[in-house]
A and B are shown apart, each in its own frame.
Chain A
Amino acid sequence: MKGLHIQGLSHSYGDNKVLDNAGLIVPAGELVCMLGPSGCGKSTLLRLAAGLEKVQHGKIIIDDVTVGSADVHLPPEKRHIGLMFQDYALFPHLNVIDNVTFGLLDMAPDKARLLAMDMLTQVGMAAQSDKFPHMLSGGQQQRVALARALAPEPKLLLLDEPFSGLDTNLRETIREETLSVLKNSGVATLMVTHDPEEAMFMADRIKIIGANGHILQAGRPHEIYYHPTHEFVARLFGMMNRFEGVAADGQVETPLGAVATDLADGTPAEVLIRPEGVILGTSDNNQGTTVEVTSSHLMGHDNIVRVRLGNGEGEDLHVRVHHTFEAELKESFSCRLDHEYAFVFPLDAESEYTNTELMDAPTSEEISAAGE
């Protein structure tokens, strides 16, 4: 298969087993994101794929050639890969064009120059070709790094948190530009990130990693968001409303109504509901559960409204509404569920990942604090 194939990769640093039988494929032309919490072994896997570290167990295959295994170790420069790592910065003593031609030493110099200029044009940096890295902004350095990685026409591009050094506004722009350059080049790309939104935006396919490089779920961004198969995955994309219950007759009761499940009757369950899955309506039509607004605050271009269930029991719910919807304090609404955003998981599921520090998503405590 053209592209990258990682098989049964296990890796330890001393007694610390960082990867345990990790595997994945990146077909030519596709962009796969590995998304996982800090310390789960993402960078280790990327360094092994790049050849910056030797394989202890398992296999790394690029375009049907085994480049790394317990017996084989092809050095990075022989793997036909492009790298963009945080700690793999531009060479400070070389100007932009020399940085980009650096990987083209096998080529006739004038040809290499032409190719490099072409790459720099693609990333919008042709005019800066004789500048030195310290004369460039962070975003410009990033564009040059991308040009350098792609110039030798690698079979595989490995990106390790490539945008994490950039501030929020710039990050979005550079992300978009990078994505369009990558899609044009058709190179197989494996990108590592701990930012769920970044993975959503960039990836053809997301691989969610828990502890030990263990894959929890793989799928299109849409699939991961709307059909999480694991509680940890559901929680990645921001705060959740949560109820506990017991499965009976194919559903679990919540104060907002029953949610369908295929858990066996009698299984203790938790129901997680995204804030956009709670729908507020006027309270006089007598449908749904009555709730009272306890706070409201702007988050991005939405309002997050906190509401309390009518009986005054339990925690407040978070509701995502359009920013033009301004709820008054103590105002009453009726409240119902959009089942597309409600997920049921067994309560006794291996709690292996539930304590893992969640990623960039704000916690409900942070949201509460912001509103007070």
Chain B
Amino acid sequence: MVELSEDFKLQYEALDSDHQKLVEMVNEISGMLDEGCAEDCKAKVVEFINFTKAHFAREEQLLTKSGYPNVENHSRHHKALDKKMDHLLEFASMVTVNELACDSLKKELVFFVMDDVISSDLDFKSFLENIPS
């Protein structure tokens, strides 16, 4: 189980609630894998990835609109995660036949959501503090 502790929060409701939802989805997928419901997990991973991409778009729009100076860098960072999302899907397709893929998927999801997605957003936390939410 991962959780979105205070330290990972941007204190910006629209983004924090997206992040919260991503974390919940990761926990849900992990739970499904632990309970042996691997068959249903692929659909959930697809849903997770779609939500992630929609979140990236919302976030980039918000940053652009508020004049965040490094928005291009951050968009590039999001773009670079495309390959990773492909890999998550690959793992998800393998979980029914391969127990190793199951472990890898759980592990990768945690790193993906906490490190690649949420931690990297902390770069603009102090910028967001000065704009109305």
Residues of A within 8 A of B (CB): 1, 5, 7-8, 21, 23-25, 27, 30, 59, 61, 64, 66, 204-205, 217-220, 223, 227, 229
Contact = CB atoms under 8 A, between A and B. Distances in A.
24 contacts: A1-B5, A5-B7, A7-B122, A8-B122, A23-B120, A23-B123, A24-B119, A25-B111, A25-B114, A25-B115, A25-B119, A27-B2, A27-B110, A30-B111, A64-B5, A64-B7, A205-B111, A217-B80, A218-B116, A219-B84, A220-B104, A223-B83, A223-B84, A223-B87
A66 B104 CA distance: 29
B7 to A, nearest CB: 6
Majority secondary structure of chain A interface residues (helix, strand, loop or mixed): strand
Given A23-B123, A30-B111, A223-B83, 16 more contacts: A1-B2, A5-B7, A5-B8, A7-B7, A7-B119, A8-B122, A8-B125, A21-B123, A24-B119, A25-B115, A59-B7, A61-B7, A66-B7, A205-B115, A220-B108, A223-B84
Interface string B5-39: 10110000000000000000000000000000000
Interface of B: 2-3, 5, 7-8, 80, 83-84, 87, 104, 107-108, 110-111, 114-116, 119-120, 122-123, 125
Majority secondary structure of chain B interface residues (helix, strand, loop or mixed): helix
B83 A229 contact: yes
A111 to B, nearest CB: 32
A27 B114 contact: yes
Contacts of A24: 115, 119
A23 B119 CA distance: 7
Contacts of B123: 8, 21, 23
B80 A23 contact: no
A192 B80 CA distance: 24
Given A25-B119, A223-B87, A1 B107 contact: no
A27 B111 contact: yes
Nearest to B80: A229
A59 B123 CA distance: 13
B107 A30 contact: yes
A21 to B, nearest CB: 6
Nearest to A30: B107
A64 B87 CA distance: 29
Contacts of A7: 7, 119, 122
Nearest to B86: A227
A25 B122 CA distance: 13
Given A5-B7, A8-B122, A30-B107, A218 B115 contact: yes
Given A8-B123, A23-B120, A24-B119, A1 B108 contact: no
Contacts of B5: 1, 64
Contacts of B120: 23
A139 to B, nearest CB: 30
B68 to A, nearest CB: 14
Contact of A1 (B83, B104, B114, B122): B114
Nearest to A21: B123
B104 to A, nearest CB: 8
Contacts of A1: 2-3, 5, 8, 114
A126 B95 CA distance: 41
B45 to A, nearest CB: 17
Nearest to B118: A25
